[in-house]
Structure formats: C-alpha cells, structure tokens
Structure 1
Amino acid sequence: MNSALAGKRPPFRFRPETPMSDEDLMHFCAANDIARVEREVDGEILVMSPAGNRTGRRNAAIISALDTWAQKDGRGYVFDSSTGFTLPDGSMRSPDAAWIEAFRWNALSRADQDRFSPICPDFLIELRSPSDELAALEWKMARWITNGAKLAWLIDPEREVVGIYRPDIEPEILHQPSLVQGAGIIDGFTLNLARIWR
C-alpha cells in the first residue's frame, strides 16, 4: 500500500491534495494493486479491499457465463472486475462484469485501450458483497445509466434480489429469481442464479 495510506484499512475514502490525472491514477493503482480503487466525479478516491472468497466465486461464475455467451454471440467483448473505465462525468469505476459492443471498443485507440478507457460499458453487472452498503450501490447503478450504460444489473446474493436498471425507467426489482434474462443489446444472454444464491 502507498506510504500515504499506511495504517488505513479499506474501505475508506480520501481526497488528494491535487486531483489525480488518469495517468496518476494508473500509477496509484499499480502501486496499490492489492486494493480495488475507484475515483469519484469530485476527485475523491475510494479504496476497497479485495473481494472475499464467496464473492470471488460468485463473480467468477458471472464472468464465465457472460463470456461464454459473448463468444457465441460475437458482437462484443467482456471485461472483469480488474478493469477501470473513465466515464463521461470524469469518474473512474470498475464494475464486477461488463460487456461493450465490438464496434465501440475497436473505435478506441490502442493507447486508450491500454489505460482506464474513456468509454462506458453497454451492459454491466455489480455484485453486492457483504460489506457493500445497498444505498451506495443503488446510487452507483444510477450513475452508470446516467453515463451511458444501456442496461445494468445489481445482484444481491444475501437478499436474493436482482435490480435491473435501464435509461428513462424505474429499476425493475426481481425477488428470488432462478435466472435473469438479457434483453435489447444482450438479447440471448441468460444468467442462471443457482450458483450465485448459494
């Protein structure tokens, strides 16, 4: 962990004396690679601990299912939770799983693809871990949509609830679904939740 952060225990927030540029943030993340890091619109840095094992297992199941579908579908690319995206509002966020249409990804320069790319995923999934506050995650989902996501799912394993977020409509809440089906840009993707709920 960076010496400025020594003795602090994630999760925590701090505001650098001077705002971090995208390059500064990349260096900070590399120096603190055991932590998960996001940047808020106002420049505040959120440092989170790595996922616990149950959350990691659940996230692996989600990534596996999404990538299997994406490879068969052929229209886009999947990204895991280690990927940061610089959004139009200036924040940098890392969803647990994301999918971007190939033509949008391929339009980025190689340099942009090698950093926290200036692009919002078309579809993303956030997986609530036991330490995540629900209200903060719901706020984050709304920010994803505001920044250009066409569809976003918030999966809450402890309550067995899925929130489906889309532009211009209220979130749809599913209680104890056995699966959740994609529509629109991810039509054909189905996530079996049996492995997520246990």
Structure 2
Amino acid sequence: MQNLFESGSIVLGGSYLERMTDDEFFDFCQQHPKLRIERTANHEILIMSPTGSRSGKRNFRLNLQLGKWWEQHQTLGEAFDSNTGFTLPDGSVLSPDASWVSAAKWNALTTEQQDKFAPVCPEFVVELKSATDSTKTLQAKMLDWLRNGALLAWLIIPETETAYIYRPGQAEPELVQGFENELSGEAVLPEFRLRLTELR
C-alpha cells in the first residue's frame, strides 16, 4: 500500500483498495468517523483532516443559505451538507461542501441506498476552498463532477474572493471576481442566490 501526501491529504493506493467493494468502503468510513474520506475513480483513498475554523464558519454560512432556499422549495429535491458522500457513476465517492439532488433522482433510490453513499450524482454541487486545499486539485474535481452528471457546480475561493461556475458543455468555467456579487442557482435551483459576502 502506498502513502502519499497531496495538498494536505494522505493518498492511499494498492491492490487491496482496488478490490474494495462499495459496502466495504462504506464500512471503512464508518470505522473512522473523525476523518474526511473520499475515493477516486481508481479506488485510491483520500484522507483529509478536518477543516480549520474559518473554513467551517464559511461552510456553515454556505449551507445555511442553501437550507433557507430549500425550506421554500422542498418539493423540488433534497439538500446535503459536507458530511455527505455520493457514489458516482465512475466509481468514485466524493463529498462536496454543499449539494442538491432532485426529488426524481432521490426518490428513485431505495432506503438502503439513501442510508449509505447514495449512487447518484447531485445536480448541484459546491466546493469551498480551505487554506490547505490546492486550487488545481479542486478545479480537476469540478470537472469530475461535470463528467459524472452535475448540471451546475461552483468552486469558491475565499482568499482571492473569486468563484468559478462550471456547466456541462462549457469550454471554460465562468469567473466571478469579488465577493460583493451573488451567484445564481439558474434553472437548476430556481430563485436561489448565494450571497458571497457572507463567506468572507
């Protein structure tokens, strides 16, 4: 088994992990509840430390805004926080900082699937960069979200007050400069607007 440090994460790889089933990976994560764990499409395991307090504050405010929108649009789908893992079509298991799944996708899952890392790609995801994250790594992750079926994905970088908006079929993400702006949920999340100033 190989251990590598990558942008504040430990990367574990090897033949045993390549053979690990989805259920075995879920059980592995339950045995280590204090760790943030993801899995790549190649079945490498990424182990990340908890975020710093400023990142946690920003993530709370991000999810609070999404939650307030969800309260008014509950019939459209379900919203999720950063503790939620999703099993994507390429076999990876990723946990965005905030996400939303349409009612049609969510209700098509069995209760057992909902209780584990649901085999579904959220239509909407947000990744909020922390101080130890690599922007380049997160940009690659955003493309993974799109390849797996996300319809709208935001990468938010507080230290430079920038945001990148990713959409399917778009050659380059749209750049939003300045946290005095708001981000629109567009047709994916009707009437949702994220006030970036609250993430300072």
CA distance in 2, matches of 1:150, 1:31: 33
SS at match of 1:83: coil
SS at match of 1:12: strand
Q: CA deviation at 1:196?
A: 0.4
CA contact (8 A) 2:80 2:100 kept: yes
Q: 1:16 to 1:30 in 2, by over 3 A?
A: farther
Aligned residue in 1 for 2:178: 176
Worse overlay, 131-140 or 19-28: 19-28
Please list every run of at least 4 consecutive aligned residues from structure 1 whose deviation after the TM superposition is greater than 6 angstroms.
none
> When the two structures are aligned, how many residues end up with a matched partner?
192
CA distance in 2, matches of 1:34, 1:95: 17
Aligned residue in 1 for 2:103: 102
Q: CA deviation at 1:32?
A: 1.4
Matches within 5 A, 1:80-91: 80-91=81-92
CA distance in 2, matches of 1:187, 1:174: 19
Supply the AA of the counterpart residue of 1:113: Q
Matches within 5 A, 1:43-62: 43-62=43-62
CA distance in 2, matches of 1:111, 1:123: 23
Matches within 5 A, 1:14-163: 14-18=12-16, 19=18, 20-74=20-74, 75-163=76-164
Q: CA deviation at 1:189?
A: 0.4
Q: CA deviation at 1:16?
A: 4.0
Q: CA deviation at 1:130?
A: 0.5
CA contact (8 A) 2:155 2:165 kept: yes
CA contact (8 A) 2:179 2:197 kept: no
Q: CA deviation at 1:54?
A: 0.6
The two structures have a TM-score, normalised by structure 1, of: 0.92
SS at match of 1:46: strand
Q: CA deviation at 1:138?
A: 0.2
SS at match of 2:63: helix
Q: Which runs of 5+ in 1 are unaligned?
A: none
The two structures have a TM-score, normalised by structure 2, of: 0.92
CA distance in 2, matches of 1:48, 1:108: 28
SS at match of 1:185: coil
CA distance in 2, matches of 1:24, 1:111: 15
Q: CA deviation at 1:134?
A: 0.6
% identical aligned pairs: 42
SS at match of 1:58: helix
Q: Which runs of 5+ in 2 are unaligned?
A: none
CA contact (8 A) 2:97 2:126 kept: yes
Residues 60-95 of structure 1: CA distance to partner in whole angstroms, max 9, x if unpaired?
A: 011111011012022111011111000000000000
CA distance in 1, matches of 2:42, 2:185: 33
Q: What RMSD in Å do the two structures reach over aligned CA positions?
A: 1.7
Q: CA deviation at 1:177?
A: 3.7
